[in-house]
Amino acid sequence: MDFGADFDRGSSGTSGAMGDRLARLAVLEGILHLGRMMDGLGGFFRLVVVSVFVVSLVACGGASGESGGGGGEGGNDGGEEAPPENTSEGTGGAVDSSGGVEGMGLREMVGQMFVVSAQGTEREYYIDKMIEDRNIGGVLLFGYNMESEEQVRSFAESMQSLSMETEPSIPMFVAVDQEGGEVGSAPWVAPQPAAAEVGARGNPEEARVISEQIGTELLRAGVNTDFAPVVDTGFGGAIGSRSYGEEPNLVSQMGAASVAGFESAGIITSAKHFPNHGPATSDSHVSLPTIEHDMATMMSYDLPPFAAAIEAGVPMVMMGHLVYPAMDSENPASLSPAAYEMLREDLGFEGIAVTDDLVMEGATGGGPSAEAVVRAVEAGADLLILSSPPQEQADAYDAVVEAVESGEIPEERIRESVERILAVKESYGMYETPEG
């Protein structure tokens, strides 16, 4: 289909056996526990202790994987008070409010899985048709969509009103990428230091306060979702000063504190870019990075900050366009069933798995974004970011619907994702009518 007058418009890796999965989980739990116990110890000493711990567990029947890059230490250092637990991450069952999954048809459910870009600074034909005809789950705003707090509030409220007036009446994620430092295009939000600067000072409370302030200022304009914080360890390709540091223990503390700050402000967040963009030497916007870490290194270096964010209650985790051969030698994490299985089974994440933007080269490989979207859903993605031109958004939506109707994707796969999406929207009070 195309817009017209009416806008009618791959091979997967696998995770190991149950014994390997349990061993990997034991590694992560042990690393987090050690991290909490070792606050104040020198970085080198922690590195030695945790490395010995990981090697010992792997030698006793732990995780399998290909050999690869260097080691690291892991864990969430318990020097700070644990952030409050967020009840939003549970998938729950069907949502009881208006728009519950039981009353939704296939096309309505598929639409909820899309977060798309808009064309300007106010509602226009294409975004209206995506809301009215395809029931999209959200909109991602870029710098060109945002002129002022007042303009964004009006834009957001207008889109929300249209969504709630259109059956099945489900509120939308209105999202931005507002990290602090160089990444942040909301003009009314006060500038904040980059994560690397905050991490260098080593105070998780500073990270919490900054995130709470960003979140409070975003919410004033009707922005309810921030695709932050970055919990990548390292300063590699496309990350740079967006990372809190090169030690997983530090990144774990800072990331968990940031999640707590956003949560205090009532903002939905996403820890990114799973399993870790920090070691990459290239940018997934324009290439497909490969990171040669073995499974032990993934457990000790790459994954602890994500485990800490999950423990802190982060409602979303963003899947990166990165190949980790120890996990899946052929597919980037965003399109890899093995990556989603690791996130769900090994890290115990029950919230929304959201892709990085599926127009990026790391996802498309030069092909159509619709193909990448279908592969992401097949792999296990719940929420699909797509900032392509309107016709490509429509084509991608249609491709998922057709894949379900043909039996390529089970409808239950879609239903599971929409239950998670609606559960988060419900738990963050998005169905509540704002006062005033």
Per residue, the 3-state secondary structure of the chain, as one string, reads CCCCCCCCCCCCCCCCCHHHHHHHHHHHHHHHHHHHHCCCCCHHHHHHHHHHHHHHHHHCCCCCCCCCCCCCCCCCCCCCCCCCCCHHHCCCCCCCCCCCHHHCCHHHHHHHCEEEECCCCCCCHHHHHHHHHHCCCEEECCHHHCCCHHHHHHHHHHHHHHHHHCCCCCCCEEEECCCECCECCCCCCCCCCCHHHHHHHCCHHHHHHHHHHHHHHHHHCCCCEECCCECCCCCCCCCHHHCCCCCHHHHHHHHHHHHHHHHHHCCEEEEEEECCCCCCCCCCCCCCCECCCCHHHHHHHHCHHHHHHHHCCCCEEEECCCECCCCCCCCCHHHCHHHHHHHHHHCCCCCEEEECCCCCHHHHCCCCHHHHHHHHHHHCCCEEEECCCHHHHHHHHHHHHHHHHCCCCCHHHHHHHHHHHHHHHHHCCCCCCCCC
Is 356 labeled as catalytic in the residue annotation? yes
The catalytically annotated residue of 33, 39, 133, 285 is: 285
Q: Active site residue: 294, 346, 356, 382, which one?
A: 356
Active site residue ranges: 285, 356
